[in-house]
């Protein structure tokens, strides 16, 4: 008799994502791993997102709430999730077909692992003009970045690290990962592409002013927490926004553990 596989809850936050939501869900339903619990949290959409989601049928748990931002939607999904493991996918992004299967294998190889983080590859949505500074050769290659959609997580890590900060309307994933790093949680790196990050005309990250504002808030909050724990220790934040330096940093942490 084969061992029973643990349930994985997949949480998809969406706000006015009718254009892409069916593609995102399709990439989840193509996963070779089962069982999966698919939870879509509609963060107050005013387009026809609800109709698109309901056309999928009973494979989806659909939750609609008042608009509160991505952190709020992910937290609402976590409240409903029944799985021992959690995965996230934004409604405009895609997974590679065997993402979950490959990441679960790394969990099996080390029972103390709490997060398996894979690579993300950015791609231009058809017909979209590349944003300023976008270089397909550089930006279109697989990279290790701190994006929640590229990870698989033990649900228990949210009990120790906490939920997403709902005051962070941008960079809430960076803020959460900084808490993970501060807590010295056990992260394994899967050096393969697991997520396809779509670049389109309405990416929220195109609002560079707000994006930079909340990114600075995330770093300041991290520095404040570190100061509180050890006021005498020099405060140095790892360069987590540089994919190569992030890889080096996480590899060093893994070796020490």
The fold of the 8-256 domain, in CATH, is Spore Coat Polysaccharide Biosynthesis Protein SpsA; Chain A (3.90.550)
Bridge pairing between strands 36-42 and 8-14 = parallel
Q: Which residues contact 79 (CB under 8 A, 6 or more apart)?
A: none
> What is residue 140's predicted lDDT score, i.e. its pLDDT?
74
Burial of 16 (0-12, 13-18, 19+ CB in 10 A): middle
Question: Where do the domains of the chain lie?
Answer: 8-256
In angstroms, the CA 207 to CA 201 distance is 11
For the entire predicted model, the pTM comes to 0.89
Q: Which pLDDT band, with edges at 50, 70 and 90, does 60 fall under?
A: very high
Residue 151 CA to residue 155 CA, distance in Å, equals 12
* 4 three-state secondary structure: coil
DSSP structure class, residue 37:
E
- Lowest mean pLDDT segment, chosen from 77-91, 144-158, 172-186, 211-225: 211-225
Residue 178: burial class (beta carbons within 10 Å; 0-12, 13-18, 19+): buried
Give φ, ψ of 152 to 5 degrees: -130, 135
Euclidean distance between CA atoms 144 and 119, whole angstroms: 5
> How many CB atoms within 10 Å of residue 208?
10
**Token pair recorded at residue 119:** 């690579």
| Helical residues (DSSP H) of the chain, grouped into ranges | 21-29, 49-54, 70-80, 99-109, 136-139, 157-161, 172-182, 208-229, 243-256
Does the pLDDT of residue 90 top 90, yes or no? yes
CA 206 to chain centre: 18
Higher pLDDT among residues 195 and 206, named by residue:
195
As a whole number, mean pLDDT of residues 154-172 equals 95
Structure tokens at 135: 């270089």
Is residue 222 pLDDT above 90, yes or no?
no
Does residue 83 carry a pLDDT above 50?
yes
């Amino acid at each position: 008799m084969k061992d029973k596989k643990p349930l994985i809850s997949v949480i998809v936050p969406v706000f006015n994502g009718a254009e892409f939501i069916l593609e995102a869900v399709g990439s989840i339903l193509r996963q070779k791993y089962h069982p999966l619990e698919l939870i879509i949290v509609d963060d107050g959409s005013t387009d026809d997102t609800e109709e698109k989601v309901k056309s999928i049928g009973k494979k989806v748990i659909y939750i609609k709430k008042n608009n509160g931002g991505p952190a709020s939607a992910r937290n609402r999904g976590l409240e409903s999730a029944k799985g021992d493991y959690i995965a996230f996918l934004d409604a405009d992004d895609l997974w590679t077909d065997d993402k979950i299967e490959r990441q679960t294998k790394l969990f099996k190889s080390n029972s103390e692992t709490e997060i398996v983080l894979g690579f993300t590859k950015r791609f231009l949505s058809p017909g979209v003009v590349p944003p300023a500074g976008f270089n397909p050769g550089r930006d279109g290659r697989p990279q290790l970045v701190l994006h929640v959609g590229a990870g698989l997580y033990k649900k228990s890590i949210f009990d120790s690290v906490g939920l997403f900060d709902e005051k962070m309307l941008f960079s809430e994933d960076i803020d959460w990962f900084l808490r993970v790093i501060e807590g010295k949680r056990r992260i394994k790196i899967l050096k393969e592409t697991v997520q396809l990050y779509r670049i389109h005309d309405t990416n929220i990250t195109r609002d560079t002013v707000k994006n930079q504002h909340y990114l600075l808030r995330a770093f300041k909050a991290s520095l404040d927490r570190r100061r509180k724990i050890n006021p005498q220790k020099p405060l140095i934040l790892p360069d987590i926004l540089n994919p190569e330096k992030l890889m080096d940093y996480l590899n060093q942490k893994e070796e020490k553990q």
